Amino acid sequence: MLALHLLLPGSLADLTGGTGYDRRIVGGLRAQGHAVQVHRLDRGFPLPTPAALAAAELVLAGLPDGAPTVVDGLAFGAMPEPAARHAARLRLVALVHHPLALETGLSAAQAAALRASETRALGHARRVVVTSRSTARLLADYGVPAARVRVVEPGTDPAPLAPGSVGGGGALRLLCVGSVTPRKGHLSLVAALEGLAHLDWQLDCVGSLMRDPATVAALRERIRALGLRGRVRLRGELSCTELDAHYARADLFVLASRFEGYGMAYAEALARGLPVLGTAVGAVPDTVPAEAGILVAPDSVGALHQALARLLRDAGLRRRLAAGAARARRYLPDWTAAATRFAEAIPGA
């Protein structure tokens, strides 16, 4: 059995896809008899203050020699010097959800600095765990040999097929799940709905409204300017029970991501047999098969608009994609298997 240490910014209770992955892996490892100690780092990563970086190094310094130590990629890529100092005595594992420099909204200087920092840090990891084959391919550009990379995709909880809203006499329900940040593409999604107000639909956006206030303000203004208040509802973070209820009522899942290291919300939609409208970026094409969804180019408001118009008007198309999603959900990985693969990825396990 492993005695594993996990370092991550913030709390395991945070409602993000990356933290959700960490939380489920930790739970799965513990259920299999492994000892996992979680160490909280400052939430400022991957742009930590000097004090936050010093505190992270103190955590590393306090770990026993030879300890298997997993550092979430939000922090690991920003701490190349501490990684270098502790690489020889700890079994360092970087958990990369997606390369830091590919986060949307960074300046060119920030992206270049993060890329250089993460490249140096990854050079000191004995193993790099990634959440998709797509991210594994990207790490070749960071100088990480393929032999040091292990792919451990997220699991997906079984869920009943969504009954949806059609037949109940109400509007077609569109569901978008993701924190309102530049990378999730909410501004493009709302812009693509312009000119479709004559059709009967409602969009529920579930996800944090606190992570990027400027993007949230811009999104609210675009909704107002397009006259879509009352049609587009920003629900904020919801409990699992509340989110499940939104999935159950949904007729179509929509997410205009500008990049995804995996895209857990896409998999959650497939698990419920929902037709998907998304973007052909990162790992999304590996997650959403063509029979289950339509994927368009990122940041292409025109392509998104055309796809939305087709899906809103064509019930037969939605039914065919829903049938494809129902077939695809049979092949989604589960969390127990993901935890097993994660344990196997730890050096010396």
Could you write out the DSSP letters of every residue in 186-225?
HHHHHHHTTT-TTS-EEEEEES-SSS-HHHHHHHHHHHHH
What stretch of H or E contains 284?
helix 284-287
Pairing label, strands 149-151, 127-130: parallel
Instruction: Give the closest residue to 152 by CA, choosing from 348, 333, 349, 347.
Output: 333
> 172-331: which CATH topology?
Rossmann fold (3.40.50)
Tokens of 289: 């098969």
Q: Would you tell me which CATH number, out of the four given (3.40.228.10, 1.10.10.10, 3.40.50.2000, 2.40.10.10), belongs to the domain 3-155+333-345?
A: 3.40.50.2000
Q: In the chain, list all ranges with CATH 3.40.50.2000.
A: 3-155+333-345, 172-331
**Global pTM value:** 0.88
pLDDT above 90: percentage of residues in the chain: 89
CB atoms within 10 A of CB 261: 24
How does pLDDT run across 276-310, given as a tens digit for each residue?
Answer: 999 999 999 999 999 999 999 999 999 999 999 99
- In this prediction, residues 52-72 reach a mean pLDDT of 96
pLDDT score for 197: 92
Would you give the end-to-end CA distance of the chain in angstroms? 8
* pLDDT tens digits, 170-217: 799 999 999 999 999 999 999 999 999 999 999 999 999 998 999 999
- For the record, the structure tokens of 170 come out as 């109400």
**Mean of pLDDT values over 15-34:** 91
How high is the pLDDT of residue 168?
A: 55
